[in-house]
């Protein structure tokens, strides 16, 4: 079955991003296809490469990046949510003349149309957080 995930909650203060990762791992392990993971609202900070996680805790940005690269998952950060929260790639950093770029490799910044498309082509959509 083809799944897409909408992740809303902050990786620091809610379990949404971790729950979504566990679900994604289980879905892929069970032979399902993950069409797209769309990070929206506070969840876009999962793509912030400047996040430093205490050593005794799982780093969710790294864990998602590793999972995404291992399984070739399309991971999208909502561009308007990301810009408001200071998560930018080099393209947006140049456009707004910011000091640097912090979006992790493996995460794309794009618009809500990506989520609308994911809703239309997937058999199941699952929301985490909110």
**Which residues are known to be catalytic?**
78
> Using CB under 8 A, which of 1, 26, 70, 116 touches other proteins?
116
Nearest 5°: phi and psi at 91? -60, -50
Q: Whole-angstrom Cα distance, residue 83 to residue 88? A: 6
Q: How many residues sit close enough to other proteins to count as binding (CB under 8 A)?
A: 17
Burial group, residue 13, by CB count within 10 angstroms (0-12, 13-18, 19+): exposed
Q: Is residue 33 exposed (0-12), middle (13-18) or buried (19+ Cβ within 10 Å)?
A: middle
Residue 101 binds to other proteins (criterion: CB under 8 A): no
- Size (the chain), residues: 130
CB closer to other proteins, 98 vs 112: 112
Check residue 83 for interaction with other proteins (CB under 8 A). no
CB closer to other proteins, 86 vs 130: 130
Interface pick for other proteins out of 3, 64, 115, 128 (rule CB under 8 A): 115
* Cβ at position 41, least distance to other proteins in Å: 6
């Amino acid at each position: 079955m083809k799944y897409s995930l909408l992740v809303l909650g902050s990786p620091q203060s809610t379990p949404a991003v971790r729950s979504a990762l566990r679900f994604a791992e289980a879905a892929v392990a069970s032979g399902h296809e993950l069409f797209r993971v769309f990070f929206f609202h506070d969840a876009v900070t999962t793509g912030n490469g400047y996040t430093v996680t205490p050593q005794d805790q799982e780093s969710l940005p790294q864990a998602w990046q590793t999972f995404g690269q291992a399984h070739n998952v399309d991971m999208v950060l909502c561009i308007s949510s990301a810009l408001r929260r200071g998560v930018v790639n080099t393209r947006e950093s140049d456009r707004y003349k910011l000091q640097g770029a912090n979006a992790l490799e493996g995460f794309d910044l794009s618009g809500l149309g990506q989520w609308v498309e994911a809703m239309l082509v997937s058999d199941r959509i699952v929301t985490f957080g909110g």
